[in-house]
Structures are given as structure tokens and as C-alpha cells.
Structure 1
Amino acid sequence: MSTKTSLTGFHCPICREFVPDPTKSADPEKWAEYFPKNLVVEFIIDNGGYSALKHCKPCRNDNEEEEANEMCRTCMEPLCKMCAKYHKRGTVTKHHDVIPLHEFEKLVHGGQQEMVCERHNSRPFEVFCYDHKTTCCILCSIDEHKLCRHKDTIENEAHLIEKGGEDDVLLSEIENIYQNLHEFKSLQEKNRTKIEDKADEITEETKKIRQQIVEKLDSLENEHLEKLAKAMKSARKAMDENMEFLSDLLDLSNHCKKTLQNAKTTKYCLNYVHSFHQVRKQVKRLKSTKISLKEIDISVKFTDIFRQFIGSDQWSSLSHREKSKQLSIRVNPQSKLN
């Protein structure tokens, strides 16, 4: 589906030529139904191929075979030289479009598409209606345009257009419109480049901020872990010193125990009495020793900014505003077209 503001046509998927919208009221999916027909191709298909162009059709109608040299595009009939001569002299057919056959054959490849009436079996347009400013066939002129008061032949209208120089005025107007549109497109391209550059700038700034955040987080993490290591070192030292003191007390207690047990087994009174009282003094010392148990707790309180950052659901507040500026095609003051 196209995202254009309005559909004015499309590019042919085969030749890439721009095809204007055939009618404003038609569904884009049905545009193909409104394409002009190439009557040259249609004639060749309907008449069995290029062989239909070899012989004069009026002569074949009289059971004669004459080589065709020319083609009446109005009647869509190949003609021999003689038939073409009288065709151009006939009162009804003297204004028909008769061209050399080789030129007609060229129209198969890249020739202009024929403008014909779809309502009346592809009859050529021969009348111009000034009331509706449109071309039509003879039957349309009698039927749809019977009440129109201003009508003339296509040839006379072409003569009036050329004589009045209206085609040159229209070409000038088209050139003026083209220049305006080209300027508008250039402005739009500049605006697109501007927003693309801005997006690149924001992207680079975003990456820079992210790098700064990563570097800052790394620095804060290292500082935090260094403080933790120092705290652990201090706590470990205090506990190690207290454990060493308790180990000494344990060794003294064990020494007292062994000394008294040895004295009891020797049965030597002097040694027994001396050891007893020495141990007694040490036990008294043990009992009076002040013993403390080191309890060290390490805790951390992370700053609120980290929790806010982790809980954030967006990187930034990004706004996108769009506005339209109405432009008008500057009118050529020399234009005389209505």
C-alpha cells in the first residue's frame, strides 16, 4: 500500500514510464482497465498476426490480392497504392489518417498509444466539445454531447491551438510548474538530510554518554571494591589478633593442666606443693583475664541513583514533532490559460 499523500499515478513495472491516474474516481486496483489501448498490437492480434498487413483489405473483399503499402489508422485497414489514393479522395475518408505501412509497423514497438472511444468499439476521436473541453467520437457527439452547443472537428481545434500559441503558453506553464516542484523537492531533500544528520548526532551523543556511564561505573566499582578489601583486611587483622590471644590462653590453660598432672604422679612433696601453688596462680590469672569476642559486620548501602537507573524504563525523553508547511506553485504572470 502506498504511503503517498495522494496518488497521482505510478511507474510502470516494465518500462518505468510514469503513468498518470487514469481517473480520479477509479480505484487504483482497477487503473489497468483505463489504460489507453495500442490499436496496432490489438489489430495484429485480432487478425492473425503480421500476415494481416500483407494484402490490401478492400481488394481482398473483392477476392483480389494486392500488396498493402499504406495503412488507414482511422479505419484500421491496410491499403494498396490505388485504394489509398481513392481513400484520400473520398468525401467521408479524406480526413482519415493514412500513413505508410512501415511507419505503422513501427508503432508496435514504442509507438504512441491510440486514443479511441471505449464506448463505441474503439472508434477514433474526431470531435472536440468546447462545453466539456474533451475529445469524443462521432457517436458520442450525437449521443452524450447532443445538447452541447459548441463543437468542432479535432483538426479545427488543433489549428486554433497552434494559431493562438496556446501550446507554447501551456509548455511555459508546465515548465514553471516543473521548476516550482523541483524547488519544493530540493527543500524537502534538505529537510530530510537535516533530520538524518540530527539522528546521527543523537546516535553519537548516545554512544558517548553510554561510554561515559560505563567508565564511571567501572571507576566507582573499583573504588567500592577497594574500600571493601580494606575493610575486610582490617576486620581480618582484628579477629586474627584476638584468635592469637585466645590461642595463648588455651596454651597456658593446657600447660597448667599438664603441670599439675605431672606433679601428682611424682609423689615428690616439694615439687607437688610448688607446682600446685604455681598452677593456682596461673588459674587465678586465667580467671581474671578479660576476654572479648570480636564481632565485625560489613554492610553496604548503594546510592539511590543506581536503583533509579536500574528501575528506569527509558534512556531519555525523545520527542518527535512533525509539521507541514503549505506551498503554492507560483503562477506565471504571462500565462493566458483559463
Structure 2
Amino acid sequence: MASKHSTSLKHSVLNASDEIHDFSCSVCKDDNLNIEAKHFCGDCSKYYCDKCLPFHAKIHKRHVVLGKKDVDKWVGQGDTLVMCNLHPPKVLELQCEDHNELCCHLCVSLNHRMCRSISLISDLARGIHKKADFKQLQANVTKVTNTLNQVTEARKKNQNSLKASGKSMLTKIKTLRSSLNQLLDELEKKTVEQMDSVLADLDGSLQKDIDHCDLLHDQLKALLDYVQIQGKDSESSSYIGHRKCQEKMDEANKVLHDMSPKPEETVTFKPNTHVVMGDEIKTN
């Protein structure tokens, strides 16, 4: 629950923030005043209103001060750490205790009007340098950054390990490809040799039948020619020729009878689609 001081502070802050400025005077802000800044000193990285500027000029005569006509140069030259991320170039001056959020005046006006406790950062910051958690800030940040560095280095080593693994796997893949190529070459050679052997056997069988038929054909034609030419003058020669033609025709018919049930020789290629695959690529 907010204290009476916090509640009254909330109302005073809201009243003071009725006028919303792009830049507030840094000096006045330290006095809990919301006064519009019309000047910016890049050397000090601070903003000044018309009343505070003369005091600054007396102390820092050589500092370069930018006026409103150069306001586009103000942003980014001051301490960007204190700039509101939601409403740049507004400055973070308040903290909403309900939401534990740093706010500018515009944040409070738009998003935190119903919040019960709004505190000035300048009040919360008093004595910050003496607090234990602030004194431990450097050590804590160093601890976290060291851990981040360790994780980064571990990830980099992991990257290098993955690259090395990739190269190793690529070598294995190429070796496997070479082995497969050699295996396929040998398989092709054996298959072609087997095909040639089968075709040679079939061709030999067919050629044997062709030669037999050609022989019988030529023998019958020769006997017929003998009967027709030589047998004209001798009945005995004609008889002998006739008998031999009959015998040869009987032989031919027997051969034709034996050949007739034989089907036409065919040959086909049926590949073996079973392939032995290598190891799969796995991730852990």
C-alpha cells in the first residue's frame, strides 16, 4: 500500500506534468520542477531552461550550447540511457511502483494514471552509491558477462565441432559414393557377362536349328535336281533318287515335328531393386 507521502507525491507529479515537454531542464528536474528546456549543452549532456542557462554560462564559458533552432541535434547527444524507449526524446523521471516500471511524464499520463504509487527517480536515487546492491553491481555484471562469454565460447566450439563433423561426414559420403560406383561397375560387368552368356546359348540353339533346316533344304533340293536331270535316262536312278528323297523328307518332317512345339525364344531383364544403404545422419 502506498504511503501518504507517495500518494501526495503522485498528485503533485500529475499536476506538474500537465504541461508535457519534449525536454525538461536538468537543473530544475533535480529540484522536482518540470520546466521546459530551451537549451542543450553537448559538453555537459544536460538541458537548461532560460533561467538556469546564465548560471551554466558563468561556470562553463567554453561549452557549446545549442538552442531551439538546433533541437534536431539534441536527440542522441545527451545521455540516451535516460531516454524513454516508448516516447523519445522524453526523459525517464518517474517510477511506477505498481508496475515496477521506469516512466516519463507522458507514460504516466497515458498508462499509469490509475496507479496508486508513482515516485520520482531523483528521490529513489538518493544514496544509491552507498547501497550494497549498487556496490555489488560491477561484480554481478562481471559474473553475468563472464558466463555469457563462456556460453559464447562453448557455442563457437560447438560450431567448429559441427563443421569438423560435416567435413568428416562429407569424406565418408564421397567414399561411400566411390564404393557404390565400384560396386555398380562390377555388378554391371557381371550382369552383361551373364546376359551375353544367356544370349549366346539361345543364339547357338537357334543357329543349330537354322543350320539343320538349311542342310535338309539343300539335300532335298540336290536329290530332286538329281532325279529330274539324271533320272530321265535311267529308271533305276530315278527310283533310287525317289527313295532317298522320301527318306530325306521323312527326316525333315521329323525335325519339323520336333521343332514345332518349341516356343519363340525371348529374353528379359529384371533388375534386383534391393540396395544396401549406408548409415543415416543422426543428431543428438
Which interval holds the TM-score relative to the shorter structure? 0.5 to 0.7
Q: Does 1:307 align with 2:261?
A: no
- 2:164 partner amino acid: D
Q: Which runs of 5+ in 2 are unaligned?
A: 1-20, 25-37, 67-72
Task: Give yes or no for contact 1:263–1:275 (8 Å, CA) kept in 2.
Answer: yes
**1:245 deviation in Å?**
2.5
- 1:228 partner amino acid: M
Separation (CA, whole Å) in 1 of partners of 2:105 and 2:221: 136
1:38–1:196 Cα change, 3 Å: farther
**1:198 deviation in Å?**
3.1
Give the secondary structure class of the aligned counterpart of 1:307.
coil
Mapping of 1:96-107 within 5 angstroms? 102-105=63-66
Percent identical pairs in the alignment equals: 13
Q: Does 1:204 align with 2:204?
A: no
- Counting matched residue pairs gives 231
**1:204 deviation in Å?**
3.4
Structure 2 counterpart of 1:191: 158
Mapping of 1:1-338 within 5 angstroms? 39=23, 73-77=46-50, 83-84=54-55, 102-105=63-66, 110-113=77-80, 115=82, 122=90, 125=93, 154=122, 157=125, 160-163=127-130, 167-263=134-230, 271-289=233-251, 290-291=254-255, 292-293=258-259, 297=265, 299=267, 302=270, 306-309=272-275, 318-321=281-284
1:123–1:205 Cα change, 3 Å: closer
Separation (CA, whole Å) in 2 of partners of 1:184 and 1:144: 43
**1:300 deviation in Å?**
5.4
Structure 2 counterpart of 1:32: none
Separation (CA, whole Å) in 2 of partners of 1:184 and 1:113: 29
- 2:249 partner amino acid: K
**1:217 deviation in Å?**
1.9
1:295–1:169 Cα change, 3 Å: same
> Given the two structures, how large is their TM-score scaled by the length of structure 2?
0.57
Q: Which runs of 5+ in 1 are unaligned?
A: 1-36, 41-51, 54-67, 89-97, 322-338
Separation (CA, whole Å) in 2 of partners of 1:128 and 1:216: 76
Separation (CA, whole Å) in 1 of partners of 2:76 and 2:138: 27
- 1:279 partner amino acid: G
**1:176 deviation in Å?**
0.9
- 1:154 partner amino acid: S
More helix, by proportion: 2
**1:164 deviation in Å?**
5.1
1:171–1:145 Cα change, 3 Å: farther
**1:184 deviation in Å?**
1.5
Superposition RMSD in Å? 5.0
1:144–1:104 Cα change, 3 Å: farther
**1:170 deviation in Å?**
0.5
